[in-house]
A and B are shown apart, each in its own frame.
Chain A
Amino acid sequence: MLIEIGHFALVLALVFALLQVVLPTIGMIKHDGILSDLSRPLLWMQFFWILIAFFILINAFLVDDFSVKYVANNSNTQLPSIFKMSAVWGAHEGSLLLWALILAAWSVAVSIFSKRLPAEVLNHILIILGLISIGFLLFLLLTSNPFERLDIVPIQGLELNPLLQDFGLIIHPPMLYMGYVGMAVPFAFVLSSLIRGQLDSTWLRWSRPWTLVAWAFLTFGITLGSWWAYYELGWGGWWFWDPVENASFMPWLAATALVHSLSVSEKRGAFKHWTVLLAISGFSLSLLGTFLVRSGILTSVHSFAADPARGLFILIFLVIVIGGSLALYAWRASLMQSNNTLSLLSRESGLLVNNVLLMAAMLSVFLGTLYPLLLDALGLGKLSVGAPYFSAVFVPIMIPAVLAMVIVPFLRWKKDATQRITGLLKWVWVGVGLLFVISTLLTDNVSVLLAVFLFIWIVTHSLVLFFQRLSQKGSMNLAFIGMIFAHIGIAVFLLGATVTTQYGVEKDIKMDIDKPITIAGYDFIFKGVTRLSGKNYQGNKGHVEVYFEDDKISDLRPEKRQYVTGMPMTEAAIDPSLYRDIYIALGESLEGDSWSLRIYYKPLIRWIWLGGLLIALGALLAAFDRRYRLRVKV
């Protein structure tokens, strides 16, 4: 019965989402304040019912209710409880329910924390968010019902993909979804302004903190995903330019451009066209990413056609969201005229150049991700686009963007002069040059040298800017500190990613018991393998002692598991540190007591995720800047 109540709760949530759109709209047309203001209570009730449905689904997993098809397909009695909970969002239906829940949660947050927004604007925004909610709830109920019952109840359920039986799965998807769904908020702000025909300061000022929070979550989610792939997949990689990864990276690039574009629009009223388009594309790419990952298009182009109901719904929804918002944009384009003047060398122009570069980078990823899918779908053959394409196209676009990134904050608004900038920064550039010359003594690897240069470039400029501001009384604020954090985060990431790619060592070797092997200056001694037994798996656990200059630094125990469904899994053993990781994956048993092992030496790999965390932290700091908390006096 609980399952039917969960299903009905979802239906009620849909009804409330419909009312959230219809009643306030009638209220606005009739100028009825009471009806218009119903948007908030209606939204809260919608959230409540989705939350109830979500808890009921979690409960179904925890009590092993295999009469529910989704539970039977993704869990079994032997799955540890913590993974039963995370299995809720381990497959299509449950993750869409999580999407709907997070969307409602974001909407509730907007309704509660937007105290400085005029009620009429807030009501409009909630109507748009309600419309998006309707789309998702309909998609859930019509094509992806997580509460579908089975006619015949199996005694035991199937296995949750062992790859997903990991701490990473518990937090990575919710964080990523927080980012994806969060992009709905600036989208709703933009659409409500377009509909009202008032692309004003109110919209620009109050949508930026929400955009920053969504961007922070997106950054954090992607960083978590990269970390999870590194330690869970057993390949020692952190980014594969896989379409699923790209699906999250594209909205991130658009959101990065949007937070910068919004900063110009809110302060100077410029680039409104651009900001509107970025907000629309940010959310559209989020939608595209979610659907690409969850519709099965990426696993196989044909699975899309295999489920015509879902595929058709996705297409219609995307067309309505993207086509509808672009049509609105075209209709209201005349309202976005700006008389503000600016010169070629100004902070506004600098941010615009960076924006264009970010969007060009995003388009290069878009092309590399969707073109092979399109070819496959049209039956024109298979094309594999991997790291070489992205290194050749994406990286060259991003280098000038990174170079300009730290110069722009030194530029003045509206107009600046080259002489002033060169005069201001000439000693900084001399310092950067000197540091770079010293670094050339340490390596001759061109890629590493370029990364070191960019690292020095970003950090030096950021620190100079920081201390310059520090000396000006009362000019330090959270937005500025957040920017410094985020820019240094990019530098840390760049150096980590390049050094680990260029200097990382990877060895597939046969190891005999007690025979040491030296890799990257470390001695590895294989001590053998013991049997391993978990709640829903069995396997082998290796033991490798790691020595550095005759001192034992670590005992690593990589595992090879065999889950009850027969799926094998590699659990790598990692000795982590800020300057290097030692990573061992257990391979196959060879003759005698020998085993094959994969050993990786990964210098500075942690810097990749440290950089991501710094960017996310910077975004959060900026979102809580004082000017977004100021009470507007009427």
Chain B
Amino acid sequence: MSLYLWFALMVITSSIWIIWFLYRPLKSNAMNLEGSNIALGKQKLLELEQDLHQNLIDEKQFNQAKEEIATTLAIELQQVSNIQNNANDNTWVLILILALLPVMSIGVYQYLTPKSNMSQPLKSTEKPLSLEQSANKIVQYLQTNKYDYEAWKMLGLTYFELGNLDLSIEAYEKAYQINPKNPRLLVEYASMMISASDNQFSDKSVKLIKQALEVEPNAPDVLYLAGMFAVSQRDFNLAKGLWQRALNALPEGSIGRVALVNILSELEAVEGGQDMPEHSISVRVDVSNEVLKSRSREGFIMIYVKSAKGSPMPIAIKKIKLKDFTGQVVLTDQDSVIQGNQLSRHDQVIAVVRISATGSALLGVGDIQVFSKIINVADNPSIHLEVK
């Protein structure tokens, strides 16, 4: 049903309501002001007698108060103008309401709603916009606002969330062309490029990080990325220095700070043990038929491990479309999210299975998550998780 049909229905309901009471008026309590004041005058006299009985007023004052109540009542009755109400023919009200209600309500609504928004609601659905719809809306918006780099950046992020890395990079590139000096954009763009190339640092991503460092040399997210690049080059000292600088820039007690402290300690472990054995975790997942039926086959299953203590960031992850999922995955150092923070470097982890419609890094509405118990990585364990 279209929006204006809904509006019409609401206006019709409202009109019927008024017309109903116009022709079937509510019963009044048949009490007039005169009667009410007389009754209350009597009531006050009764209460006054009670006060006398309770010794809250003496005899002399009681008589005076009684007179005062009578005088007050007389004044009140004088003020009352008892004009009888009539039941007139209210056809004009009916016509007025039928004409005015839609004109006024729709008119005020149109006056309050910006013209650009007027046509959009008709197309929108009742559900919140999906990522695809968001992307389409941003594309529409960009047709008339093509120099809005924030919009291009948001489009890039949306495409990334949708798993369309090529379009994501294309959108980021547009944003970059418009505003090459925005450090947030540079960091996001670089991160996308790194994700798109299996966590490898391309020349372009390194260039972006360097540019970001020039614009904002002490921004923690820029320093973090630069540190990651240093680790990929196995320049652990440089990485440590950069992350220390990021640590200094982060406020006490912030999540980023906690994560960086963990990464720095892991970096020390990497430096201390170059010849550590490699471990893996085999995860078998049974997804119940009820869950499968309620999910699109285009949805994602994400199986990852995170540290049992410390940062909640995934250490190693596999993201597979539900239609391609065979029931078992093996997480190894190759699946590590961050180079230098391999799975084998951890002692105890927790495995997580998440079924998500979007595959987004953030837990979304309707996502299902199942957690394992704490696992010892050194045992190269095989675990079994059920998603019901």
Residues of A whose CB lies within 8 Å of any CB of B are: 1-5, 7-9, 11-12, 14-16, 18-19, 23, 30-38, 40-42, 45, 49, 63-67, 77-78, 115-121, 141-142, 145, 149, 151-156, 197-198, 200-202, 205, 267-269, 335, 338-341, 347, 412-415, 469, 472, 475, 531, 533, 535, 538, 560, 562, 564, 566, 568, 588, 627, 630, 632-634
* Chain B hits for A38, CB < 8 A: 18, 21-22, 25
The reply to whether B255 and A633 contact each other, CB–CB distance below 8 Å, is no
The reply to whether B10 and A12 contact each other, CB–CB distance below 8 Å, is yes
The reply to whether B158 and A268 contact each other, CB–CB distance below 8 Å, is no
The reply to whether A538 and B126 contact each other, CB–CB distance below 8 Å, is no
18 contacts between A and B (CB under 8 A): A15-B105, A15-B108, A19-B18, A34-B87, A38-B18, A77-B362, A77-B365, A141-B112, A154-B154, A269-B69, A335-B79, A339-B71, A414-B57, A475-B53, A475-B54, A562-B253, A566-B254, A568-B254
Residue of A nearest to B84 (CB): A31
Known: A588-B253, A627-B43. A120 touches B17 (CB 8 A): no
A154 to B85: give the CA distance in the assembly, Å: 58
The reply to whether B117 and A414 contact each other, CB–CB distance below 8 Å, is no
The reply to whether B124 and A1 contact each other, CB–CB distance below 8 Å, is yes
* Chain B hits for A118, CB < 8 A: 29, 31-33, 35-36
The reply to whether A413 and B22 contact each other, CB–CB distance below 8 Å, is no
A562 to B84: give the CA distance in the assembly, Å: 69
* Chain A hits for B363, CB < 8 A: 77-78, 535
The reply to whether A630 and B87 contact each other, CB–CB distance below 8 Å, is no
The reply to whether B128 and A632 contact each other, CB–CB distance below 8 Å, is no
The reply to whether B131 and A627 contact each other, CB–CB distance below 8 Å, is no
The reply to whether B36 and A538 contact each other, CB–CB distance below 8 Å, is no
The reply to whether A31 and B86 contact each other, CB–CB distance below 8 Å, is yes
The reply to whether B141 and A151 contact each other, CB–CB distance below 8 Å, is yes
The reply to whether A1 and B121 contact each other, CB–CB distance below 8 Å, is yes
* Chain A hits for B251, CB < 8 A: 566
Residue of A nearest to B28 (CB): A119
CB of B163 closer than 8 Å to a CB of A: no
Residue of A nearest to B34 (CB): A118
CB of B113 closer than 8 Å to a CB of A: yes
A259 to B312: give the CA distance in the assembly, Å: 57
Binds A, one of B60-68, B207-215, B291-299: B60-68
Candidates A9, A115, A152, A267; contact of B151 at CB < 8 Å: A152
Nearest chain B CB to A33's CB is how many angstroms away? Answer: 3
* Chain B hits for A141, CB < 8 A: 108, 112
Binds A, one of B44-52, B327-335, B336-344: B44-52
Nearest chain B CB to A70's CB is how many angstroms away? Answer: 14
Candidates A36, A78, A119, A475; contact of B362 at CB < 8 Å: A78
* Chain B hits for A77, CB < 8 A: 362-365
Candidates A30, A64, A145, A269; contact of B68 at CB < 8 Å: A269
The A/B interface has a contact count, at CB < 8 Å, of: 252
Candidates B32, B65, B138; contact of A152 at CB < 8 Å: B138
Residue of B nearest to A123 (CB): B28
A9 to B11: give the CA distance in the assembly, Å: 10
* Chain B hits for A11, CB < 8 A: 105, 108-109, 112
CB of B268 closer than 8 Å to a CB of A: no
The reply to whether A155 and B85 contact each other, CB–CB distance below 8 Å, is no
Nearest chain A CB to B56's CB is how many angstroms away? Answer: 6
CB of B258 closer than 8 Å to a CB of A: yes
Nearest chain A CB to B21's CB is how many angstroms away? Answer: 4
* Chain B hits for A588, CB < 8 A: 252-253
- Report B306-345 CB contacts with A as 1/0, cut-off 8 Å: 0001101000000000000000000000000000000000
* Chain B hits for A4, CB < 8 A: 3, 121
Nearest chain B CB to A371's CB is how many angstroms away? Answer: 35
Known: A31-B83, A531-B310. A1 touches B126 (CB 8 A): yes
Nearest chain B CB to A370's CB is how many angstroms away? Answer: 33
A205 to B72: give the CA distance in the assembly, Å: 14
Nearest chain A CB to B98's CB is how many angstroms away? Answer: 13
Residues of B whose CB lies within 8 Å of any CB of A are: 3, 6-7, 10-11, 14, 17-18, 20-22, 25-26, 28-33, 35-37, 39-41, 43-44, 47, 50-51, 53-58, 61, 64-65, 68-69, 71-73, 76, 79-80, 83-88, 90, 93, 97, 101, 104-105, 108-109, 112-113, 116-117, 120-122, 124-129, 131, 134, 137-138, 141, 150-151, 154, 157-158, 161, 251-256, 258, 309-310, 312, 360, 362-365
Nearest chain A CB to B178's CB is how many angstroms away? Answer: 15
* Chain A hits for B79, CB < 8 A: 197-198, 200, 335
A201 to B42: give the CA distance in the assembly, Å: 11
The reply to whether B253 and A267 contact each other, CB–CB distance below 8 Å, is no
A49 to B21: give the CA distance in the assembly, Å: 17
The reply to whether B57 and A8 contact each other, CB–CB distance below 8 Å, is no
A145 to B252: give the CA distance in the assembly, Å: 38
The reply to whether B158 and A155 contact each other, CB–CB distance below 8 Å, is yes
A524 to B297: give the CA distance in the assembly, Å: 56
Nearest chain A CB to B362's CB is how many angstroms away? Answer: 6
The reply to whether A152 and B58 contact each other, CB–CB distance below 8 Å, is no
Residue of B nearest to A198 (CB): B79
* Chain A hits for B87, CB < 8 A: 32-34
A78 to B255: give the CA distance in the assembly, Å: 16
* Chain B hits for A14, CB < 8 A: 108
* Chain B hits for A414, CB < 8 A: 57, 61, 64-65
The reply to whether A1 and B113 contact each other, CB–CB distance below 8 Å, is no
Known: A413-B61, A538-B312. A202 touches B105 (CB 8 A): no
The reply to whether A155 and B161 contact each other, CB–CB distance below 8 Å, is yes
Known: A200-B37, A201-B41, A588-B252. A34 touches B72 (CB 8 A): no
* Chain A hits for B150, CB < 8 A: 152
Residue of B nearest to A536 (CB): B363
Residue of A nearest to B29 (CB): A115
A341 to B21: give the CA distance in the assembly, Å: 48
Residue of B nearest to A533 (CB): B312
The reply to whether B57 and A32 contact each other, CB–CB distance below 8 Å, is no
A634 to B72: give the CA distance in the assembly, Å: 18
The reply to whether A1 and B310 contact each other, CB–CB distance below 8 Å, is no
* Chain B hits for A12, CB < 8 A: 10-11, 14, 105
The reply to whether A15 and B104 contact each other, CB–CB distance below 8 Å, is yes
Known: A11-B112, A198-B76, A627-B43. A1 touches B3 (CB 8 A): yes
The reply to whether B71 and A562 contact each other, CB–CB distance below 8 Å, is no
The reply to whether B90 and A35 contact each other, CB–CB distance below 8 Å, is yes
Known: A35-B93, A414-B64. A202 touches B47 (CB 8 A): no
Known: A33-B87, A38-B21. A67 touches B129 (CB 8 A): yes
* Chain A hits for B85, CB < 8 A: 31-33, 36
* Chain B hits for A630, CB < 8 A: 43
A591 to B384: give the CA distance in the assembly, Å: 41
Candidates A15, A145, A633; contact of B101 at CB < 8 Å: A15
Candidates A33, A117, A156; contact of B86 at CB < 8 Å: A33
The reply to whether B22 and A5 contact each other, CB–CB distance below 8 Å, is no
A14 to B32: give the CA distance in the assembly, Å: 30
Nearest chain B CB to A143's CB is how many angstroms away? Answer: 11
A116 to B86: give the CA distance in the assembly, Å: 22
* Chain A hits for B26, CB < 8 A: 37, 40-41
Nearest chain B CB to A73's CB is how many angstroms away? Answer: 15
Residue of A nearest to B160 (CB): A155
Known: A198-B76, A560-B253. A119 touches B31 (CB 8 A): yes
The reply to whether A475 and B50 contact each other, CB–CB distance below 8 Å, is yes
* Chain B hits for A562, CB < 8 A: 253-255, 258
Nearest 5 Cβ contacts at the A-B interface? A33-B85, A632-B39, A41-B21, A414-B61, A119-B28
* Chain B hits for A65, CB < 8 A: 128-129
* Chain A hits for B51, CB < 8 A: 413
Extra contacts, 12 of them, besides A45-B14, A77-B365, A115-B29 (Cβ < 8 A), are A14-B108, A18-B104, A37-B21, A67-B124, A116-B36, A118-B36, A149-B121, A152-B151, A155-B154, A531-B309, A562-B253, A568-B254
Nearest chain A CB to B241's CB is how many angstroms away? Answer: 23
The reply to whether A633 and B39 contact each other, CB–CB distance below 8 Å, is yes
Residue of A nearest to B256 (CB): A566
The reply to whether B127 and A267 contact each other, CB–CB distance below 8 Å, is no
